[in-house]
Structure 1
Amino acid sequence: MGPVELFALGAAVLLVAGAIKGMVGIGLPAASISLLTLAVEPRVAIALVLLPMVVSNGWQVWQMGGIGLALRRYWLFAAVLAGVILLTVALSATVPDRVIFLATGLSIVLFSAVNLRFEVPELGLRFDRLAQGVFGAVAGVLGGLSGIWGAPMVIYLTARRVPKDEFVRATGLLIFLGSVPLTLGYLRQGLLTAELAAVSALLVVPTLIGFTIGAHVRGRLSNDGFRRLLLYVFLFLGLNLVRKGVW
């Protein structure tokens, strides 16, 4: 598939994924990567989403403010996440596509299940550093393989019972801080070529347009009902990727 076709496909997908993120606040990597892998190889899908992930989540963090406080609270999670993502990308550069399909599918299934029904027990403050290290490492492995590490992050933040605004700030920060080393890892391994990087940069525009549209119409929809329907769609897409990884 040439750059023009990649951009056309990516623009349609990122417009939808950006709108989803604008409407329900979650799901940009899960939506875009799961849809793109229906037409392109998984590493190509991840490469196309890299710069939209960096820019959209950097923008989200900047809008929320309180960056310094969030960094002080979650620096351990962020450091482990970044280090493990870099290591995983380096070690998995020659992993077969079916393994990437499997990791991506499992990430999306876990992401959907956690947000649909899973009740996370509360985590006390005295276990916080241990939890940040463990969940940061799991998120890093999933992120390095599949580009999606939302589920371990959501489980950790939910277990800590963080307030809504802090949850949005922390998720944006941790996705941003994970997407930067993921991008660097793809560059070092030659997985983010000049052509893919150019297309990925152009895809920032439809992503932000979709995000703006989604945020604008959010108040007119039943947010919870739409979110649940969307997560069931993610679950189906994730299970299909698991199937492709197994058979």
Structure 2
Amino acid sequence: MDDLGTLLLLSTGAFLIAGTVKGAVGIGLPTTAIGLMTLAIDPRTAIALILVPMIVSNAWQVYRSGEILTAARRYLPFAAALMAGVWVTVSLTANAPDRVLFGVLGVAILIFVAVNATRFAPRIPDAFDRPAQIGFGIVAGVMGGLTSVWAPPMAVYLAARRVPKDEFVRASGLLIFLGSLPLAFGYLREGFVTTPLLLLSLGLLVPTILGFTLGEALRTRLSEEAFRRVLLGVFFLMGLNLVRRAVF
């Protein structure tokens, strides 16, 4: 898309919706924004635009959730594997065609839907927590390095550990924030982030924050279960469309 005005309009709408989703349910910012933007632009540009809002919104989420050092120590193996996986994957897949990114992103979104729709995850006992963190962290890193979306394996791990709601919000914010750092540096190094895209990404903080504020307000007024079902239905259609674009 060469028309900067059209790109600005599209991305502003996408991030307003994505911010609303994150404010309402605590996750889903990159999944929503990229799923919407890739309807009209290439995935590399969409991922470049998500970087600043993703870093800032999750830093804010971590700050508000508190107990940052405790959470960082608890999830250090997952975070280390995630960050390494993202960095290596961005480096090795810099020349991957759009079809591959569409396919992986579509599958990632469909897994995200399945995980949240079924809420099924075998319990991981304390004795196996460290290897589980490393394993899920590597999978999340590979998925994140390709698509910037690593919520599915992260959500499965946290569900399998039976973490309470507040801990889920704290851990997911921390892991998304930490994983977004090597993703941003990798995209800068590979030249996917240009100065105009970086400036636009900074500007997209405004609709993201507005949406986040709206989503927090909606959380107290709408049925969380009804909202979740509608959201998962939309994600399901976006995931199918991305897989379709990867195939033909």
TM-score scaled by length of structure 1: 0.98
The separation in 1 between residues aligned to 2:119 and 2:66, in whole angstroms, is: 29
Q: 2: distance between equivalents of 1:216 and 1:118?
A: 25
Cα distance in 2 for residues equivalent to 1:3 and 1:198: 12
Query: What is the aligned-residue RMSD (CA, Å)?
Result: 0.9
Cα separation, 2, equivalents of 1:82 and 1:4: 34
Matches within 5 A, 1:125-164: 125-164=126-165
Q: Distance in 2 between matches of 1:114 and 1:143?
A: 17
How far, CA to CA, are the matches of 1:70 and 1:4 in structure 2?
41
| Maintained 8 Å contact 1:84/1:137 | yes
User: Is 2:75 aligned against 1:78?
Assistant: no
What are the superposed Cα offsets for residues 142-174 of structure 1, whole Å, 9 maximum, x if unpaired?
100011000000000000111111110000000
Residue deviations 1:175-230, cap 9 Å, x none?
00011110000000001111111110100111011000110121111111111111
Deviations 1:27-46 (A, max 9, x none): 11111000000000011111
- 1:141 and 1:245 map into 2 onto residues whose CA distance is 18
Distance 2:226 2:26 in 1: 14
User: Aligned residue for 2:18?
Assistant: 17
Count of matched residue pairs: 247
- The aligned residue for residue 183 of structure 2 is 182
Within 2, Cα distance between the matches of 1:6 and 1:68?
Answer: 39
Partner of 1:170: 171
Quote the residue 1:221 is aligned against: 222
Equivalent-residue separation in structure 1 for 2:18 and 2:244 (angstroms): 23
**8 Å Cα contact 1:105-1:242 kept in structure 2:** yes
CA distance in 2, matches of 1:136, 1:2: 38
Following superposition, the deviation at residue 5 of structure 1 comes to 2.5
**Unmatched 5+ residue regions in structure 1?**
none
Q: CA deviation at 1:4?
A: 3.0
Provide, for residues 38-86 of structure 1, a one-character-per-residue CA deviation record: whole Å limited to 9, x for no partner.
0000111111111100000000000111100000000110011011101
Secondary structure of 1:243's aligned partner:
helix
Provide, for residues 116-163 of structure 1, a one-character-per-residue CA deviation record: whole Å limited to 9, x for no partner: 014111100111111111100000011000110000000000001111
Are 2:21 and 2:27, in contact at CA under 8 Å, matched by a contact in 1? yes
- Structure 2 counterpart of 1:27, one-letter code: G
TM-score, scaled to structure 2: 0.98
Q: How does 1:183-222 map to 2 (within 5 A)?
A: 183-222=184-223
Q: How many angstroms does 1:91 deviate by?
A: 0.7
Cα distance, 1:2 vs structure 2: 3.5
Residue identity (%): 54
Gaps of 5+ in 2: none
8 A contact 1:3–1:195 mirrored in 2: no
Q: Is the 8 A contact 2:52 2:201 kept in 1?
A: yes
Q: Is the 8 A contact 2:119 2:159 kept in 1?
A: no
